[in-house]
Every structure is written in C-alpha cells, then in structure tokens.
C-alpha cells in the first residue's frame, strides 16, 4: 500500500546518519559544524543559507540532523573528498570531532550502569508506592 508521496506504508526511510553521531547530535550542532567549516576551511556562507532554504522546502518528516548529513553528502562532501584526498566523509569525521565529548560520555554511560530512562522509571515507581 502506498502513501500519497509514493512511499510504502510501514517502510522507514533509510538514514545516512551514523548511530554514534545520531544519538548525540542536536539541531544546534548543524550550525556549529557550519561555523567550523566557515572558520577553518573558509567555505562560503552561501552553503549555510542554501542548507536552511532547502531544509525549509523539504517535507518535515526528516530531522534537521538527518537533512544536514544528506545535504553535506550531496553538496559539500564530494568537493572535500577531492581536496583532502579522502574516501570517507570528511563532514562525518568533523562531526565526530565536534561531538567527541558527548560520544565518549554516551559510550561510558552505557557500560555497567543502567540507562537513565530506567533509573527515572524506578524513581517514579518508588514515589507512587509511598
């Protein structure tokens, strides 16, 4: 069965956002990444404006973080790969660099310790039992 946009119901669209980045990235991190790209690599500010315009024009089923990865993969990564002579996505590597503290915290938080969600659930249960 197809939706009005031609996609099948129940089929999630594939994401380009890696798990380690997707778990900790927020919409404000897109601006930080553009700030870094403009400051260090001196890319044009027009890329940021194009990103914002295309994000507003696309269907809002896609998060800003996911759209950032798609936009950079389409427009910025190919040029950076040629300039830096890399095969991996330079923008994803940049995001891992910018988010390294949060990624490390997320990794250490999950080892040997219950998730905060479960801690909060236990705390709520204790309060309701009193």
- Please count the structural domains in the chain: 1
pLDDT in tens, 55-113: 999 877 888 999 999 999 999 999 999 998 988 889 999 999 999 998 888 877 765 45
- Low-confidence winner among 2-11, 20-29, 105-114 (lowest mean pLDDT): 2-11
Residue 14 included in any domain: no
Kindly report the three-state secondary structure assignment for every residue of the chain: CECCCCCECCCCCCCCCCHHHHCCCCHHHHHHHHHHHHHHCCCCCHHHHHHHHHHHHCCCCCCHHHHHHHHHHHHHHHHHHHHHCCCCCHHHHHHHHHCHHHHHHHHHHCCCCCCHHHHHHHHHHHHHHC
Residue 10 included in any domain: no
pTM, to two decimals: 0.71
Residue 60 included in any domain: yes
Q: Residue 72's domain spans which residues?
A: 19-129
Residue 8 included in any domain: no
């Amino acid at each position: 069965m197809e939706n009005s946009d031609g996609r099948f119901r129940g089929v999630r669209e594939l994401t380009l956002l890696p798990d380690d980045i997707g778990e900790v990235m927020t919409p404000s991190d897109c601006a930080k990444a553009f700030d870094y790209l403009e400051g260090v690599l001196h890319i044009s500010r027009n890329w940021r404006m194009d990103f914002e315009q295309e994000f507003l024009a696309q269907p809002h089923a896609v998060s800003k973080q996911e759209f950032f990865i798609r936009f950079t993969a389409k427009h910025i990564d190919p040029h950076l790969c040629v300039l830096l002579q890399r095969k991996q996505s330079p923008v994803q590597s940049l995001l891992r660099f910018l988010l390294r503290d949060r990624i490390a915290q997320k990794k250490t938080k999950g080892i040997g310790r219950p998730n905060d969600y479960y801690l909060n659930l236990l705390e709520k249960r204790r309060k309701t039992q009193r």
